[in-house]
Amino acid sequence: MQEIEKIKKRFEDEILTVMASEIKELEIKYLGRKGMIAVFFQEIKNVPEGKKRKFGQDVNELKAYIEEIIKARLEEIKSQENLKSLEKDKIDVTMTGLRLSNGAPNIITQTIREVEDIFVSMGFDVMTGPEIESDYYNFEALNIPEYHPARDMQDTFYLAQKMLLRTQTSPIQIRTMETYKPPIRMIATGRCFRRDAADSSHFPIFHQIEGLVVDKKVSFANLKGTLSEFAKRMFGKNSRIRFSPSYFPFVEPGAETAISCVMCGGKGCPVCKYSGWLEMGGSGMVHPNVLRNVSIEPEEYQGFAFGWGIERIAMVKYEIPDIRMFYQNDLRFLRQFK
């Protein structure tokens, strides 16, 4: 009995001190055919009859115990060996990742897309038109005849043959109303040209978003509701809009539209010149002359229209200080908008 305990104790000491390479030896020493356990089994016959059973049990337990420990040790050694064999694959995982330089859509494309998505979800169709326009579509049909004082508001690049570079996306209103019958809900986005010298807020080339709704009962309240909803979705749900008197010959009543300053929320800051508001563009109720020009009866149909600057929207939304940056195409600028 004591022998068994002694052997167990001895095994426990040995297993802790033995080198990995000696485990097999140890296994033979205890569990081998001539090992210590085998010796115990041989001794069973010498044990007195009354204790034989108990002795047998104890030897079996010891055998199972030793087997288990050796198995565990062997597995541990194996996994250490595996690890060692992988060490040749060791890398400095703290190095930075390998990256392909990525593409990025232009900030103007992104802004147009975002604006279009909002209006498309409100049931507006997106229309397009040419950049080279006739005087008729850009001015005449929009109630701006030749020598109209409003022509001075938009310095125009002219081509030969009474053609010009469109100064606004509004000609697309006319093209749309010539093609489709009311009800009309449309927006148009695109490049416009004005003969302005470049400064931080002007550039001879810019983009506009134009909106037009014509139906039987479309009202000024709908214009306010639509632009207000757009502002909330574009600039955040606390955004508000403000209308102020303005003049565009193709709308009456006409209004300038501003949004609450995105920087200060309307309290006043340097960005909004302490007014709390940022002017975004014009809007108003479609002038009856414009409807008549496209053979829509103003007594039957009425509508609203608006035109905002895309660069202006992006400048406000992304805090871009200078409109010229859109056209410098510095990759350090463009890559920021992914």
Partner 1 sequence: MLISMKLIKETIPNNYSASQLAEKLTSLGIEVEGIRKIKHNFKHITTGKIENIELIHDTKLFKSIINTGKEKLQIITAATNLKTGNIIPVALPGSKIANGTAVGKKNFKGVDSHGMLCSVSELGIENDLVSNEEKEGIFLLPTDTPIGVPFENVLPVDDELFEVSLLPDRADAFYLAGIARWVEIIMARDENRPANFSKIGQLPDIQAFGKNDVEIEISSKDMCPFYSGRIIRNIYVKKSSLNLRQKLFLLKIRPINNIVDVTNYIMKFYGQPLHAFDFDRLNGKIIVRTAKVGEKLTTLDGVERKLNNHNLLISDDSGPIAIAGVMGGEETAVTETTKNIFLESAYFSGQAIAKSSRSLGLITDASTLYEKGIDYKFQSSASKLAANLMKAEANGSPSEERTVSYILKKQQVKVRYDRINSILGEEVSPSDVKKYFDFEGFKYVDQGDKLLVNAPSFRQDINIEEDLIEEVVRMKGYNEFKEKMLEGKIKSGSRTEFEDFLLRLKDKLVALGLVEVNTVSLVGIPLLQSVKFSDAEELVELVNPLSEEMKYLRPTLLATVYEVLERNINVGVEDIAIFEIGKIFHKTNKYFEKTQLGIMLHGKRVEENGLKVSLKYDFFYLKGLVEEIFEGLNIAVNFSQKEYPALHPFQVEEIIADGKEIGCFGRLNKDLEKNSYYASIGVDELYKLYVKKIKFIPYSIYPPVKRDIAIVLNGEVPEQSVREAIFGLRIRELKSATLFDVYKGAPLPNQKKSLAYSLEFSSFDKTLTGEEVDKFINEIELSIKEKVQGELRKK
Q: Which stretch binds partner 1 (CB under 8 A): 44-52, 65-73, 106-114, 262-270?
A: 106-114
Strands in 277-286's sheet, in edge-to-edge order, are 125-127, 184-193, 205-215, 302-309, 277-286, 251-260, 241-245
Omega before 253 within 30 of 0, i.e. cis? yes
Please identify, using beta-carbon distances, which residue of 88 and 147 lies nearer to partner 1: 147
- DSSP of 107-120, one letter per residue? HHHHHHHHHHHHHH
Q: Which of 11, 30, 40, 124 binds partner 1 (CB under 8 A)?
A: 124
Q: Minimal CA–CA distance to 212: which of 223, 204, 203, 202?
A: 223
- Terminal CA-to-CA distance of the chain, rounded, Å? 79
Residues 146-165 that bind partner 1 (CB under 8 A): 147-150, 152-153, 157-160, 163, 165
The yes or no reply on residue 264 touching Zn ion (CB under 5 A) is yes
Q: Which stretch binds partner 1 (CB under 8 A): 16-24, 35-43, 55-63, 120-128?
A: 120-128
The yes or no reply on residue 31 touching partner 1 (CB under 8 A) is no
Q: What is the nearest approach in angstroms of partner 1 to the Cβ of residue 183?
A: 6
For residue 158, what is the DSSP state? B
Please identify, using beta-carbon distances, which residue of 21 and 121 lies nearer to partner 1: 121
CA dihedral 280, 285, 287, 292 (to 10 degrees): 120
- DSSP of 310-329, one letter per residue? HHHHHHHHHT---TTHHHH-
CA distances to 163, 216, 218, 253, 336 from 182, rounded to whole Å, are: 28, 8, 11, 21, 42
The yes or no reply on residue 263 touching Zn ion (CB under 5 A) is yes
The yes or no reply on residue 93 touching partner 1 (CB under 8 A) is no
Please identify, using beta-carbon distances, which residue of 253 and 268 lies nearer to Zn ion: 268
**Rounded CA separation 52/247 (Å):** 116
Q: Which of 126, 263, 264, 294 binds partner 1 (CB under 8 A)?
A: 126
Please identify, using beta-carbon distances, which residue of 74 and 269 lies nearer to Zn ion: 269
Beta strands 163-165 and 132-134: pairing type?
A: antiparallel
Q: Which of 195, 202, 267, 292 binds partner 1 (CB under 8 A)?
A: 195
The yes or no reply on residue 245 touching partner 1 (CB under 8 A) is yes
Residues 296-335 that bind partner 1 (CB under 8 A): 302, 326-332, 334-335
Q: Which stretch binds Zn ion (CB under 5 A): 33-41, 189-197, 256-264, 302-310?
A: 256-264
Q: Summarize as ranges the residues that interact with Zn ion (CB under 5 A).
A: 261, 263-264, 269, 271-272
